[in-house]
Structure 1
């Protein structure tokens, strides 16, 4: 196996690894966004409850505790989401770089293959010309 082919395989493997990392970050982002949405749904659901259902929780202060918990949870989820988005942006840069390298090596392989094919065609043409000259020389009595 040529060095260039080995390099291509290494670059392809690196690109695929970067894609896997990015897929995992995208999954984490989706999970966090869903958790934030679910939390918003719960908060809206609690606001929609009739006052008579909220009387007991308000009497013992549970409504304030719950509001505090939802605010802290929302803040924590937003921090986690921001961290994931930063890592995702960093990995996108690495992915683009890995893709560029893989493409560059692929182009080098294409160029090498084209050059080998042309060299083989040139050799075949030269052998054919030499053979034609030999035949011409032997048929003319030489």
Structure 2
């Protein structure tokens, strides 16, 4: 590899890293959204438990059973979505790590070449 090809390689590895990062962003946003929905559901559950003790007829009418059934199904669905999203995130993180490693390797190579060139130039100008 010549030193003139190195900047092109650096651009390509940086672009690959950015592409992987951008691909991961919607997955991270989806994970955050699902976590927020689970937190909201937890808040609703706390509120429903507090309200059920205050409201007459809540348990007698079976409303508590229906609400608990809805809450359980909703929680199960959100947890499934979260598991799928986290699986996608893990795959995306692996691709991002690989792209980052390549980017770092090229940057390290560039720095080593620059140092070698500086040493060679100093040797030319100032002698052995």
TM score, norm. by length of structure 1: 0.72
Map Cα deviations across residues 28-78 of structure 1 (whole Å, 9 max, x no partner).
22211111111121122112115563526853x544333222111111100
C-alpha distance in 2 between matches for 1:103 and 1:76: 40
Q: What residue in structure 1 maps to residue 14 of structure 2?
A: 12
Change (3 A) 1:74 1:54: farther
> Shift of the alpha carbon at 1:124?
3.2
1:1-142 paired onto structure 2 within 5 Å: 2-51=4-53, 53=55, 55=57, 59=61, 61-125=62-126
Asked if structure 2 preserves the Cα contact closer than 8 Å seen for 1:58 and 1:64, the reply is no
After TM superposition, the structure 1 stretch with the greater mean CA deviation from structure 2, 30-39 or 73-82, is 30-39
User: Matched residue pairs, number?
Assistant: 125
> Where does the alignment leave 5 or more consecutive residues of structure 1 unmatched?
127-142
Larger radius of gyration: 1
Asked if structure 2 preserves the Cα contact closer than 8 Å seen for 1:15 and 1:102, the reply is yes
Superposition CA RMSD, Å: 2.5
C-alpha distance in 1 between matches for 2:49 and 2:103: 54
C-alpha distance in 1 between matches for 2:126 and 2:49: 86
C-alpha distance in 2 between matches for 1:125 and 1:18: 46
Asked if structure 2 preserves the Cα contact closer than 8 Å seen for 1:57 and 1:63, the reply is yes
